[in-house]
C-alpha cells in the first residue's frame, strides 16, 4: 500500500529535466501541498517557461548553477545516457543536498555516478518510478501519474538513512508505493517486464510497417494489436538510450523470449495441441494472477494488508446453502490428475487461493490445465515421470497440505525444486515430512528450524520404508505414499490414530492399488495412474462454521447441501452430537468414492463434554469453531491429545484461549489441549453468553472465522484483525455468513 505521508519538508526541490516525469513530479508535489520552492533546469527554455506558466515550478532556467544552492533535494529526470554529463556539471556546486534520479537502468547510472564522484555518495539514492505515458514534455504533466504506482529505490548498505527517508517521503507524497531492491535485481526485473515488451512492440510495428500491404494491415488491426503496440509510440531516443544502458540484461531477457517462441513454434509445427494449451493456459492464468496483484486480491498482495471483520452481535441462522468444495480433495485431484495418464475432469473444485496455487504450480511444471470455470477443471495428465522443471520456486501460499504433499511427490522427480509459501506458512515446521523422506533417500534442505523454503534435490533413488508416525497426520501419511509411487519396493505407513484417507481413496480411484489393514496403509512403487473423473464434495471443515452457528443460535434451522461425510473427517459431527446438537444427515450417498450427505442442523442446548481422544484426529481442523460451541455449552468442555493444534497456521490452542479470554470466557490451557467453561444457561437459551471484544486471528483463517461465528451469542460487537487469509481456504465466507443471518462487515484496517 502507499505510504501515508505529508508533503516533504524540503526548503527547495530542484528538478533537472522538466519533461513528463519531472513535470508530473512537480504537479504531484504542488497538489500534495508542498510548501517549499520547486525549481527546474532544462536545456529547453520553452519547457521551463511552460512549467512556470502552468504553476508547476516556481523558478528555473537552462542554467544549472544558480539553483543548486537554493535546493535541499535534487531530482535527476534526464535521459539515462545524459546523467553523467549532468553530474559533472552539478558536482562543483553541491553541498549537503540529497540527490535521487528516475532512470530505468540503475547499473548504468550507478557506474556514471562512480566515474564522476569516485564512489556513490551516501546522500545519493538511486530510484525509478514505474510510470509513464506515450505523451512527452511538461505539457503532458499529470499530478496522478505516480498514484498507486510503484517506485523502486535501490539503496546501498552505506546509503545515508536520512537521505533514504527523505526520498521515500518525496514519492509517498505523490501517492506512490515504495519498494526496495538491489541494483542488479532491478535491472534484471525491468529488462523482462518493461524493456523487453517495448523492444518487441517496436520490432513488431516496424516489421509490419515495412510490408507493402501495411495500410491494409493497420486498417483492419483490432484492439489487441492496438493495446500491445501502444508502447511503441514512446520516445524513440529515450528507449535507444535505455536499451544501450541495460544492454546485457535486455539481451538475456531476449534470449529467454526467443527460447519460448522456439518452443511454441515447435508445438505449432508438430500440431501438438497439449503443448500449445499448456503454454496458452499458463500464460492466461499468469496474466490473471498479475491482475490480482495489481488489484490486491491475491494472497501474495494480501500478506501486506490487514483485513478486519467487524461482527455485530445477534442474528439467526436459517436457509439452505452449499459451501465450497473440499480443499483437501481439491488439492489431491490436481496432483493425481497431473500425474495420471489421460484427461481428468474435476467438478466442484475449490477456487480458493490455496487450491489455485497448487493448480498453478503444476502449470509451471508443464501440465496443461483448463479452468477452473465454475468449479470445473480439466487436467491433461503427463504421467508419473512427465513433469518438467519449473523456472523458479513453486509458491503454495498458505497451504500446509500443498507444501507437505508436494514434498513427497517432488522427492521422486529428476529435477531440483524449491517450495516456498507465504509469511505464515514459512514459519511452520516441515521436519515431520523431511525426516522420513530422507530415510527414503530424498535429499531435502530446509531453512533454520526445519522450516520452508524446502529445496528438494532431484535424481535420487528412493526406496520404500516402513514408517510409524509419531503423531496422527494425514499430510505426513499422504506425503510418504506419494513418494512411495517413485520408490523401489513397498512403502508402509502406520498411524497411531485414524486420519483422513482421501489420498488412499483417490489413488485407488486412479487405478493405483493402496492396501489397508487396521492402522497401516501401503503401496508398491513403480505403478501408473489412469485418469478418472472426480466430483469434489463440499468441505466439512468449511461447513463446520455453519454447523456451529446454527447449533448455538436460538431459532436456527439450516440445511447444508452435498457435504463430504468421509468417516475420517466427521469428528466435528460426532463431537457436536455428543454435546447435544440437533444434527441430521439426509440423503446419504457416495460420489466418486467419497460419501456425502445433506446436513440439517437446528438449535438445541449444548452440554460440555470430555472430547473423546479417538475423535481428535477426525476433527483436528474444526477445533477453533468447536471451541466456540464449547463457550456456548453448559458446563466444562475438556480437550486432550491435541498437540497437533500447536503447529497449525498458528498455535491454535493458545490463540483461541487468548481470544476467548478477551470475550470473558474462562479457560485453562494445557500442553495438549484446553478446558473451556461454557457460559450457557440451559434454562434461558436466549441469554447472551459472553462479551464482545477485539481479537487478533494471527493470520489464521480458521480462528478468524470462528470468532465471527462467536458474535451470534455475544453481548457486544466482535472485531477480528488479520483476516486476509480467509480467502485462501474459504472464498465467499463473508457472503454466505451474511446470507444465513450474520451481521458481518469486512474492512481494510490501517
The distance in angstroms from the start CA to the end CA of the chain is 10
Give all strands of the β-sheet with 376-382 in edge-to-edge order: 368-373, 376-382, 341-347, 534-535
Q: Is 427 annotated as a binding residue?
A: no
Residue 39 grid cell? 525549481
Asked whether the bond before 372 is cis by omega within 30 degrees of 0, the reply is: yes
- Report the Cα 566 to chain-centroid distance in Å: 30
Tell me which residue has cell 547499473.
107
Distance from C-alpha of 410 to C-alpha of 148, rounded to nearest angstrom: 39
Those residues whose C-beta lies under 8 Å from the C-beta of residue 327, and which sit 6 or more positions away, are: 350, 352, 354, 355, 399, 401, 539, 541, 542, 729
H or E stretch at 199: helix 196-209
Q: Is 327 annotated as a binding residue?
A: yes
Q: Is 702 annotated as a binding residue?
A: yes
DSSP code of residue 530? B
Q: Is 135 annotated as a binding residue?
A: no
Q: Is 150 annotated as a binding residue?
A: no
Nearest CA-CA partner of 680 in 594, 572, 554, 529:
554
For CA atoms 649, 653, 656, 661, the dihedral sign is negative
Q: Is 400 annotated as a binding residue?
A: yes
CB 471 within 8 A of CB 647: no
Nearest CA-CA partner of 374 in 349, 404, 407, 391:
349
Tell me which residue has cell 472430547.
611
Those residues whose C-beta lies under 8 Å from the C-beta of residue 142, and which sit 6 or more positions away, are: 20, 24, 27, 133
Q: Phi/psi at 486 (nearest 5 deg)?
A: -105, 0
Nearest CA-CA partner of 528 in 404, 385, 405, 408:
385
Which position among 241, 422, 621, 696 bears the catalytic label? 621
Task: Tell me, yes or no, if 621 is annotated catalytic.
Answer: yes
Residue 335 grid cell? 496432483
Tell me which residue has cell 454435546.
579
DSSP code of residue 377? E
Q: Rg of the chain's alpha carbons, rounded to an integer? A: 30
Q: Is 652 annotated as a binding residue?
A: yes
CB 82 within 8 A of CB 240: no
Q: Is 376 annotated as a binding residue?
A: no
Give me the half-sphere count of Cα atoms (radius 13 Å) on the Cβ side of residue 244: 10
CB 634 within 8 A of CB 623: no
CB 718 within 8 A of CB 695: yes
The CA-CA-CA angle for residues 99, 105, 108, to 5°, reads 80
Tell me which residue has cell 486471528.
697
Indicate the burial class of 55 (C-beta count within 10 angstroms; 0-12, 13-18, 19 or more): exposed
- 515-517 and 520-524 beta bridge pairing: antiparallel
H or E stretch at 378: strand 376-382
Q: Is 515 annotated as a binding residue?
A: no
Tell me which residue has cell 508402509.
492
Tell me which residue has cell 501440465.
367
Q: Is 648 annotated as a binding residue?
A: yes
Asked whether the bond before 453 is cis by omega within 30 degrees of 0, the reply is: yes
Q: Is 332 annotated as a binding residue?
A: yes
Asked whether the bond before 468 is cis by omega within 30 degrees of 0, the reply is: no
- The binding site comprises 327-328, 332, 400, 428, 473, 475, 621, 648, 652, 702
Residues catalogued as catalytic: 621
- The binding site for 3-phosphoshikimate comprises 327-328, 332, 473, 475, 621, 648
- The binding site for phosphoenolpyruvate comprises 327, 400, 428, 475, 652, 702
Amino acid at each position: 500500500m502507499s505510504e501515508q505521508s505529508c508533503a516533504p519538508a524540503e526548503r527547495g526541490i530542484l528538478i533537472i529535466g522538466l519533461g513528463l516525469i519531472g513535470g508530473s513530479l512537480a504537479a504531484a508535489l504542488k497538489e500534495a501541498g508542498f510548501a517549499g520552492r520547486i525549481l527546474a533546469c532544462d536545456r529547453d527554455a520553452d519547457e521551463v517557461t511552460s512549467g512556470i506558466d502552468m504553476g508547476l515550478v516556481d523558478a528555473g532556467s537552462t542554467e544549472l548553477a544558480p539553483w543548486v544552492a537554493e535546493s535541499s533535494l535534487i531530482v535527476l529526470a534526464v535521459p539515462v545516457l545524459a546523467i553523467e554529463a549532468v553530474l559533472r556539471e552539478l558536482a562543483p556546486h553541491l553541498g549537503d543536498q540529497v540527490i535521487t534520479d528516475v532512470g530505468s537502468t540503475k547499473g548504468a547510472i550507478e557506474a556514471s555516478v562512480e566515474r564522476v564522484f569516485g564512489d556513490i555518495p551516501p546522500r545519493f539514492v538511486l530510484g525509478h518510478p514505474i510510470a509513464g505515458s506515450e505523451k512527452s514534455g511538461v505539457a503532458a504533466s499529470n499530478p496522478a501519474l505516480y498514484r498507486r504506482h510503484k517506485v523502486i529505490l535501490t539503496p546501498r548498505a552505506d546509503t545515508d538513512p536520512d537521505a533514504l527517508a527523505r526520498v521515500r517521503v518525496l514519492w509517498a507524497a505523490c501517492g506512490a508505493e515504495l519498494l526496495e531492491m538491489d541494483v542488479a535485481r532491478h535491472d534484471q526485473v525491468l529488462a523482462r517486464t518493461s524493456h523487453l515488451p517495448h523492444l518487441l512492440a517496436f520490432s513488431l510495428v516496424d516489421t509490419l510497417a515495412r510490408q507493402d500491404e501495411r495500410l491494409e494491415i493497420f486498417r483492419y488491426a483490432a484492439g489487441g494489436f492496438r493495446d500491445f503496440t501502444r508502447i511503441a509510440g514512446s520516445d524513440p531516443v529515450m528507449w535507444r538510450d535505455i536499451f544501450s544502458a541495460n544492454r546485457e540484461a535486455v539481451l538475456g531477457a531476449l534470449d529467454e523470449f526467443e527460447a519460448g517462441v522456439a518452443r511454441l513454434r515447435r508445438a505449432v509445427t508438430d500440431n501438438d495441441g497439449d503443448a500449445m494449451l499448456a503454454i496458452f493456459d499458463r500464460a492466461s492464468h499468469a496474466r490473471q494472477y498479475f491482475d490480482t496483484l495489481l488489484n490486491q486480491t491475491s494472497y501474495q498482495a494480501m500478506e501486506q494488508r490487514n483485513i478486519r471483520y467487524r461482527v455485530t452481535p445477534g442474528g439467526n441462522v436459517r436457509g439452505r446453502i452449499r459451501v465450497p468444495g473440499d480443499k483437501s480433495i481439491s488439492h489431491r485431484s490436481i496432483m493425481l490428475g497431473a500425474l495420471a495418464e489421460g484427461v481428468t475432469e474435476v467438478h466442484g473444485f475449490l477456487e480458493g487461493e490455496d487450491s489455485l496455487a497448487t493448480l498453478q504450480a503444476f502449470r509451471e511444471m508443464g501440465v496443461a490445465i483448463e479452468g477452473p470455470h465454475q468449479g470445473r477443471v480439466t487436467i491433461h495428465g503427463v504421467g508419473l515421470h512427465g513433469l518438467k522443471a519449473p523456472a523458479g520456486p513453486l509458491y503454495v501460499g498458505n497451504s500446509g497440505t500443498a507444501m507437505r504433499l508436494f514434498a513427497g511427490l517432488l522427492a521422486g522427480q529428476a529435477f531440483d525444486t524449491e517450495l516456498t509459501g507465504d509469511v505464515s506458512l514459512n514459519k511452520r515446521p516441515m521436519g515431520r515430512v523431511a525426516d522420513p523422506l530422507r530415510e527414503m533417500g530424498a535429499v531435502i534442505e530446509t531453512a533454520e528450524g526445519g522450516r520452508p523454503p524446502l529445496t528438494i534435490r532431484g535424481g535420487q533413488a528412493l526406496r520404500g520404508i516402513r514408517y510409524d508416525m509419531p503423531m496422527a497426520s494425514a499430510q505426513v501419511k499422504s506425503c510418504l505414499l506419494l513418494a512411495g509411487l517413485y520408490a523401489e519396493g513397498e512403502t508402509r505407513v502406520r498411524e497411531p490414530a485414524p486420519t483422513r484417507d482421501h489420498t488412499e481413496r483417490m489413488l485407488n480411484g486412479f487405478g493405483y492399488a493402496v492396501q489397508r489393514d487396521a492402522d497401516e496403509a501401503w503401496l508398491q512403487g513403480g505403478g501408473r495412474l489412469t485418469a478418472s473423473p472426480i466430483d469434489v464434495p463440499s468441505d466439512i471443515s468449511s461447513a463446520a462454521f455453519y454447523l456451529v452457528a446454527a447449533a448455538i443460535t436460538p431459532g436456527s434451522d439450516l440445511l447444508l447441501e452435498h457435504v463430504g461425510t468421509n468417516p475420517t473427517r466427521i469428528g466435528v459431527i460426532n463431537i457436536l452430537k455428543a454435546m447435544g446438537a440437533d444434527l441430521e444427515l439426509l440423503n446419504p450417498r457416495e460420489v466418486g468414492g467419497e460419501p456425502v450427505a445433506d446436513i440439517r442442523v437446528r438449535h438445541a442446548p449444548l452440554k460440555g463434554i470430555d472430547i473423546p481422544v479417538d475423535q481428535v484426529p477426525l476433527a483436528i481442523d474444526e477445533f477453533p469453531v468447536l471451541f466456540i460451541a464449547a463457550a456456548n455449552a453448559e458446563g466444562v468442555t475438556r480437550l486432550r491429545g491435541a498437540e497437533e493444534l500447536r503447529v497449525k497456521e498458528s498455535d491454535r490452542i493458545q490463540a483461541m484461549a487468548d481470544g476467548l479470554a478477551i470475550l470473558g470466557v474462562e479457560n485453562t490451557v494445557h500442553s495438549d489441549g484446553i478446558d473451556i467453561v461454557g457460559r450457557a444457561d440451559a434454562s434461558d437459551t436466549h441469554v447472551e453468553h459472553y462479551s464482545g471484544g477485539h481479537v487478533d486471528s494471527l493470520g489464521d483463517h480458521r480462528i478468524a472465522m470462528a470468532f465471527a461465528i462467536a458474535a451470534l451469542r455475544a453481548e457486544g460487537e466482535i472485531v477480528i484483525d488479520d483476516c486476509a487469509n480467509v480467502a485462501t481456504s474459504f472464498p465467499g465466507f463473508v457472503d454466505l455468513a451474511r446470507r444465513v443471518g450474520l451481521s458481518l462487515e469486512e474492512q481494510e484496517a490501517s
